[in-house]
Chains A and B, each alone.
Chain A
Amino acid sequence: MNSSKKIRVLIAKPGLDGHDRGAKVVARALRDAGMEVIYTGLRQTPEMIVESALQEDVDCIGLSILSGAHMALFPRVMELLRKEGANDILVVGGGIIPEDDIPELKKAGIAEIFGPGTPLEDIVEYIRTHVKK
């Protein structure tokens, strides 16, 4: 009887950028879609994000960044997850991320990048169908 099983998602803002409108809106949409969303707030280092994800045993990590630091920070998150043997966690990203950077981020293990204008429903659906349960 696993009726109370829930998808758990960590929404994190790596780096120093304080624009959390997107992160919060997505957090709320995932909540409204029946998921448990752990929001960690601003200024998270990759180390903090991975540690929080482990403690919270999440199925998915959503990273949001608008400052352009994604090439330094997203792959670092993936590297730390691998080191912890936790690369089964689905990692998705969003924010201002140039198209050209996406192949490299995907190569690093980021499953999907959601740019500006992505309907919330698409994000919800993607997570729902891609988490490893």
Chain B
Amino acid sequence: MTDGLVNTACVCAVLAGGFAFAVFEQTHGLENWTFETQRRQLAGDGRLWAPPIALGEKPDVGWVPWSTDADSGRVYIVDFIYTRCPGLCEGLGAQFRLMQRELQHQHEAVPVSLLSISFDLAGDTPEQLAAYSQRHGADASVWRVIRPADQKEADRLLRALGIVAIADGTGGFVHNSALHVLNQYGQVRGIYDYGNWQAALDGAERLAGEPKSEGARE
């Protein structure tokens, strides 16, 4: 009986230790209990990367905004949209318009670009993307409303960044919307709440002022 009790105590200690370790790992040190906060923590630590993907329409597919060997020094503020979205994506559009205005009125040109990437390839035709651009007054030299070249590229980007779009039951989507600040290498350097566009823009401008090699993936 004593042996059984000792064995049990040892197994229980291993189980409890394993559980504590798993919870500690899962929550990044008991700090991030949701996937979204984990994603933001990864971005804050510089460990969230967007793979180089081709954006644009056939036959002009092939614009790759960021890549590991880029030397443009350009910083991107990226959001993910679908143009049929009646609320949030329109709100994001309004915020991008404000950011565009600020960027257009800078005394010196800042290498910051705005990108609204559609994840709804089936629903968002080039015409609908153009209509969204027009509705929000997007100036293509500052703000591009675009979609990945194909579904495979879209899935790759969304998976890498932890963007999940789920059907809302009324024909639309619910997704973790936020403003992502990416450097030329595709490294996410900050994720800002929807509504916090000024902080996102400030972060992007600060990042654009850093030396070009900053943040390059080893």
The answer to whether A and B interact is no
